[in-house]
Structure 1
Amino acid sequence: MAHTAQIKIAATYMRGGTSKGVFFRLQDLPEAAQVPGAARDALLLRVIGSPDPYGKQIDGMGGATSSTSKTVILSKSSRPEHDVDYLFGQVSIDSAFVDWSGNCGNLSAAVGPFAISNGLIDADRVPRDGMATVRIWQANIGKTIIAHVPMTNGAVQETGDFELDGVTFPAAEVQLEFMDPAAEEEGAGGAMFPTGNLVDDLEVPGIGTLKATMINAGIPTIFVNADAIGYTGTELQDAINGDPEALARFEKIRAYGAVRMGLIKDVSEAAKRQHTPKVAFVARPAAYVSSSGKAVAASDVDLLVRAMSMGKLHHAMMGTAAVAIGTAAAIPGTVVNAAAGGSEREAVRFGHPSGTLRVGAQAAQVDGAWEVKKAIMSRSARVLMEGWVRVPGDAF
């Protein structure tokens, strides 16, 4: 009986922010997977270990959570004034599906370090010591991200004393600037608020009518008030992820919100667009104990936010959703701004299940419409393993 040999593909396993993923240079992928399509999706599914009816991704590199079922493909940028093109694939755990509809803000922190270390950045743009500025084209959503990557003795500095709630160990700080983060391709005509409103009455059959801010910034996100759906905003993962009925309600809110945002035409299409939009619920500050046992005082934060990702409550906060939070918090009249006290602001610190996070955003009205020039946050990144991944040669 003939057996198909495994092939090996150069890859790096990296942590970026509170996520992990498998990073590839486009040129290192098998030829059939160097272009979008079924072969690329099949390869990445096999690398990660999906679809897995057991929900564990034992036979792949995935970690069986939305934060660890991720892939990244990078190449030298063909766009003027950019260094690297960054394509993100969110791999479903239990179905044969790779979602290319959005960015991963957390893994964005690892893009610059990987690109520098793997020869994708022109040498004259990388200082031996100091801060390298990497201009990233985020190909999923057509946006620019500027990464500030520390360099020491000609190499990316990965260790340091920057602490990020949701990550156990400290590392070097990587500052990210998400330029003009309102998504142009998504929703009605590319508006930051695709419905034209800062707050909408979102009707969800069987749940009711919810006050919702639906925004395209960082990633399409639907914000609702925690108390309107029976929560306090202090919940940790088990309170929601262990409740199948709660998960079904959130998915229903997501589907009806996606239709209102113009992302899909019918709620039945939501199952094929799992990565976007996100659903998050907000509340005014309150004390709670984070998932690590760390006490968070009400005075430590401006508001509380909990967000769903790929059908589960996220253990911390998606980086792209943090951009949406910072942007919405900067605009008076949104449910996010109201939860933060209702005042004008250029930065906000919010509480999430793993602790707190600060994000800045500068918003302004131009000709009656809200615009945001950039959102800023700090993350960290680290190489966990590098070499090759192996997959059966007939896997794609």
Structure 2
Amino acid sequence: MLRRLCKDVLASTTRRAMSTVPNRLPATFLRGGTSKGIFLNKAVLPTERAEWTPLFLGIMGSPDAEYGRQLNGMGGGVSSLSKIMVVSSPTEEQKAKGIDAEYTFAQVGIRDSTIDYSGNCGNLTSMIGVFAIDEGICPPPNVKEDGQATVRLFNTNTQKIIDTTFPVSETGAPVLDLPQVTMAGVPGKASKIVLDFVNPGGARTGKLLPSGNATDDIEIGEGCVVKASLVDATNPTVFVSYSELNEFLAMDDYLNGKDTPQTQVVSRILESIRQEGAKKMGLDPSAQAQPKIAILRAPYTDEDKSQEVSIVIHALSMGVLHKAVPMTVGLCLGVASKIQGTIAWNIVHGNDSDLIRIRHPGGLVDVGAEFGSNGDVKSAKVIRTGRRLMKGIVWH
């Protein structure tokens, strides 16, 4: 009897001890642009990044190899909903450079256990400054006369600086519900958030044109060669031409989401092009998150003409057609369109505006790039909106 009592007490004590294991992390769920993700204060995570992997997989409900829906977590079964941002205070050295917050982006695999830190997410970056202020990671910023404030960020994935500017109250609290701008893919109006990627060239490779060429020949087997522009700005991207691919592939069926043997061939060839492009950029071809691949096309509808569309894009993310456009890809396209000889430049050549208008499957977005006299990219800008969705705890 005594032995059994001791066993019961030991089991009860063990259960209580297990309940104190941190399986409740303070978290915020935010929409930024056309993405949603979990935002975490780095202070609540283990020091070693390797220990983040099981936490992030658990938070998102990955891997979900059978269904791909991530129903056991916060993910939504598509790449734009399987993202985590880790935010922290800047180092003293960063503070001296005017940086207000540091952050790391994690793209979480859906059907597998991949955690990819190789790139940045432009959409969720729009909410880093808001989160940093809300969490007290950085002090309330100085409010300008126009009611705007700028938070300067450092992204550890790309080692780049990004300025985010948005409306704030007199006390410096971010205000997100002003009916200022609309955004393709998001209903209603919201406050305007301006993202300015400072010196975005060479985000991963150190070079704006990693291969040294505006356009490269990519071999895809059996003597078949296609043109691609390999550009690294905000995130590295492989740009290909719809008109060239459509000569021998069922591009319209593929872009319209049809699943046929012919469209499956398109998918395999696009991945082959992406991998060959990655090799020429000096990147790991097996990492699906970076570089991304995007199909470019000249405006071709009456609506394109009436809406003054400069270029049409279909981008892939993690091997799947994106329902909008990853914002870093959109920004990279804005830069590429200003580089003579690229596929993008050949399409928009003659557009002397500071901005180009991109049509993607979710609607329209205006992006711009500013170059210095030496040919370096000084900045790439885009407008986003965001919304606070939830703040509380997340289990993993």
Query: TM-score, normalised to structure 2's length?
Result: 0.87
Residues 173-322 of structure 1 mapped to structure 2, 5 A cutoff: 173-186=192-205, 190-205=206-221, 208-230=224-246, 238-239=257-258, 243-264=263-284, 270-271=285-286, 273-287=287-301, 296-297=304-305, 299-322=307-330
Structure 2 Cα separation of the partners of residues 323 and 348 of structure 1: 10
The answer to whether the Cα contact below 8 Å between 1:125 and 1:132 also exists between their aligned partners in 2 is: yes
Structure 1 Cα separation of the partners of residues 127 and 258 of structure 2: 31
What is the deviation of 1:127?
A: 6.8
Give the aligned partner of residue 77 of structure 1.
Answer: 90
Give the aligned partner of residue 112 of structure 2.
Answer: 95
Letter in 2 for 1:34: T
The answer to whether the Cα contact below 8 Å between 1:138 and 1:145 also exists between their aligned partners in 2 is: yes
Give the aligned partner of residue 156 of structure 2.
Answer: 139
More deviation, 81-90/328-337: 328-337
The answer to whether the Cα contact below 8 Å between 1:232 and 1:283 also exists between their aligned partners in 2 is: no
Q: Deviations over 1:284-331 (max 9, x none)?
A: 10228xxxxxx6556530111111111111111111111110001112
Give the 3-state SS of the residue equivalent to 2:166 in structure 1. strand
Q: Can you give the 5+ residue segments of structure 1 that lack an aligned partner in the other structure?
A: 265-269, 289-294, 392-396
Structure 1 Cα separation of the partners of residues 144 and 160 of structure 2: 25
The answer to whether the Cα contact below 8 Å between 2:123 and 2:384 also exists between their aligned partners in 1 is: yes
> Structure 1 residues 249 and 311 mapped into 2: Cα distance closer, same or farther (>3 Å)?
same
Q: Can you give the 5+ residue segments of structure 2 that lack an aligned partner in the other structure?
A: 1-10
Letter in 1 for 2:63: P
Structure 1 Cα separation of the partners of residues 39 and 54 of structure 2: 16
Give the aligned partner of residue 72 of structure 2.
Answer: 59
Residues 16-35 of structure 1 mapped to structure 2, 5 A cutoff: 16-29=32-45, 33-35=46-48
Give the 3-state SS of the residue equivalent to 1:152 in structure 2. coil
> Structure 1 residues 132 and 234 mapped into 2: Cα distance closer, same or farther (>3 Å)?
farther
Structure 1 Cα separation of the partners of residues 332 and 253 of structure 2: 20
Give the 3-state SS of the residue equivalent to 2:49 in structure 1. coil
Question: Which has more helix, going by share of residues?
Answer: 2
Give the aligned partner of residue 372 of structure 1.
Answer: 377
Structure 2 Cα separation of the partners of residues 333 and 311 of structure 1: 27
Structure 1 Cα separation of the partners of residues 313 and 243 of structure 2: 12
Letter in 2 for 1:336: A
Question: Which has more strand, going by share of residues?
Answer: 1
Match for residue 131 of structure 2 among 71, 95, 114:
114
The answer to whether the Cα contact below 8 Å between 2:197 and 2:379 also exists between their aligned partners in 1 is: yes
The answer to whether the Cα contact below 8 Å between 2:204 and 2:232 also exists between their aligned partners in 1 is: no
Give the aligned partner of residue 326 of structure 1.
Answer: 334
Structure 2 Cα separation of the partners of residues 172 and 237 of structure 1: 32
Q: How high is the sequence identity, in percent, across the aligned residues?
A: 34
Give the aligned partner of residue 123 of structure 1.
Answer: 140
What is the deviation of 1:11?
A: 0.2
What is the deviation of 1:160?
A: 2.4
* Larger-gyration structure (1/2): 2
Give the aligned partner of residue 52 of structure 2.
Answer: 40
Structure 2 Cα separation of the partners of residues 342 and 210 of structure 1: 25
Give the aligned partner of residue 68 of structure 1.
Answer: 81
Structure 2 Cα separation of the partners of residues 234 and 167 of structure 1: 26
